[in-house]
Structure 1
Amino acid sequence: MVFKRRDRRPVWQIVLDFLWPRGGWARAFHYVKHRLRRLPDSPDRIARGIFAGIFTVFTPFYGLHFVTAAIISKLVRGNILASLLATFVGNPLTYVPIGLISIQTGYFLLGRPPRPDGEVHRTFGGKFADAAVDLKDNLIALVTSRDADWHGLLVFYHEIFFPYMIGGIIPGIVFGLIGYYVSLPLIRAYQARRRGALQERVKRIKSAKAAKAEGK
């Protein structure tokens, strides 16, 4: 069976568009904002979904952020689609500072001595790469005669993943609440303005029909 790639763009262009959308991150931000405001749900549920999405960005579950955001949104009774859209806060421009904040906070909460941001930054990607290689090799070892070696994953868990997971809770809640309290009045105002505009449109249509009926 031959699988054809629907996207005819070169691979480098796909990667570039992910790192920097063609319209720029500003345009992508306005698109997400527009979609959030027009969701057919109550402002409170949408704002709770935004909280869930922003909180998720501060977790180390890369590749599972949509699933994590949906679960958290369900737990807080938020709008799931809003939570998925809010994970846009996590992007190639913000993942590094978010990771540094979460890991350093985790070191502090676990009573570990703080490490220079530059050192954490250098080891951050390296430990993720080592863990990915270990995971791949160990999955291969399950179906071959090779011996599994979990050293890289253990180092990654103790030095990066666990501090990241613990340390991301506080900033995740803080920034999530900021997103909630900032978005709630904005969504309420937008929906109220939209209802007013819709009611005004209905009145104009009724008036036009009444005037047409009188003219007959």
Structure 2
Amino acid sequence: MVFRRRSPPNLARRITNLFLPPGGWRRALTYLRHRASRIPDAPHRIARGLACGILASFTPLFGLHFFLAAALALLIRGNVIAALIGTAAGNPLTFPFIAILSLDLGHLILGTRAEAVPITQIMTAFGQAGDEIFRNVRAMFSADITNWSRLERFFHYVFLPYLVGGLGPGLAAATAGYWISLPALKGYRKLRAARREARACKQAEAAAGEGTEE
């Protein structure tokens, strides 16, 4: 293929890129900001979409954040593309903080702190739960016996606290994202319009000058 890398990155490089993009996080965030500002839609719809993506990133539905963000955007008439961009609020740098905050708050609300899974084992718990779900789904179509009881502890002491505890911070972050992005998008649109108008005026003046010389 024409645009394929000559030397594809190895596994170690791909993992490193998750935590440190090739151009740095500042460049990555700037790129996302430009992408969001250039979406052909009303600023308030784009801001709603971004808020939906931010809220989705505070949920424990890892692997489904895109789908949840898109569904929320459709529900409140936000921009779906902006919602997908907004999920970048949850990334390898922010997920540890989101997880700790959500789980601590969730255990506090539900009164399950005594049975809390150590924070260092959270990702392992999610991985094991995903493996158990896969095994049970496969068992439905084979002679194996399904056993959902192993997921009970995960649901009550990891998933549910994360979901309950992440709702408040997620709504706060989404609201903040909306009110920050809305005026920024409007200002960017006005700036682009002013630049286009200035460019059109210069072209008109140049054309008028050429006509006068003739």
TM-score where L is the length of structure 2: 0.89
Question: Which deviations, in whole Å up to 9, do the C-alpha atoms of 1:88-112 show, x marking residues without a partner?
Answer: 11111111111121222222332x1
Measure, in 1, the Cα distance between the counterparts of 2:136 and 2:164: 26
How many Å separate the matches in 1 of 2:139 and 2:42?
50
Identity of aligned residues (%): 34
Tell me the secondary structure at the aligned position of residue 22 of structure 2.
coil
Q: 1:68-98, CA deviations, whole angstroms, 9 ceiling, x for partnerless residues?
A: 1111111222111111111111111111111
- Stretches of structure 1 lacking an aligned partner (at least 5 in a row): 1-5
Matches of 2:132 and 2:88 in 1, distance apart?
29
Separation in 2 of the partners of 1:49 and 1:140?
35
Please state whether the residue corresponding to 2:62 is helix, strand or coil.
coil
Asked if the contact 1:53/1:87 (under 8 Å) is kept, the reply is yes
> For residues 181-192 of structure 1, what are the structure 2 equivalents within 5 Å?
181-192=179-190
- Deviation per residue, 1:54-80 (Å, 9 max, x gap): 111111111111111111111222111
CA distance in 2, matches of 1:116, 1:157: 12
Larger CA deviation: 194-203 vs 133-142:
133-142
RMSD (Å) for aligned C-alpha atoms: 2.0
Alignment of 1:152 onto 2:141: no
SS of equivalent residue, structure 2 residue 66: helix
Equivalences for 1:53-202 in 2 at 5 Å?
A: 53-110=53-110, 112-114=111-113, 120-202=118-200
Report deviation, 1:24.
1.8
Report the CA distance between 1:147 and its aligned residue: 2.2
The structural deviation recorded for 1:140 is 3.3
SS in 2 for 1:168: helix
Question: What is the aligned residue count?
Answer: 209
After superposition, what is the alpha-carbon deviation per residue over 1:106-130, rounded to whole angstroms, capped at 9, x for unaligned? 22332x144699x541231232122
CA distance in 2, matches of 1:30, 1:125: 29
Instruction: Specify the code of the residue in structure 2 equivalent to 1:161.
Output: F
**What CA distance in whole angstroms lies between the structure 2 residues aligned with 1:179 and 1:93?**
18
CA contact (8 A) 1:130 1:153 kept: no
Work out whether residues 104 and 115 of structure 1, in 8 Å CA contact, stay in contact via their aligned partners in 2. Answer: no
Q: What amino acid sits opposite 2:73 in the alignment?
A: S
The residue identity in structure 1 corresponding to 2:204 is K
Q: Which shows bigger deviation, 79-88 or 124-133?
A: 124-133
Q: Work out whether residues 56 and 87 of structure 2, in 8 Å CA contact, stay in contact via their aligned partners in 1.
A: yes
Q: For residue 27 of structure 1, what is the amino acid of its counterpart?
A: R
Question: Which runs of 5 or more residues in structure 2 are unaligned?
Answer: none
- C-alpha separation in 2, matches of 1:126 and 1:210: 70
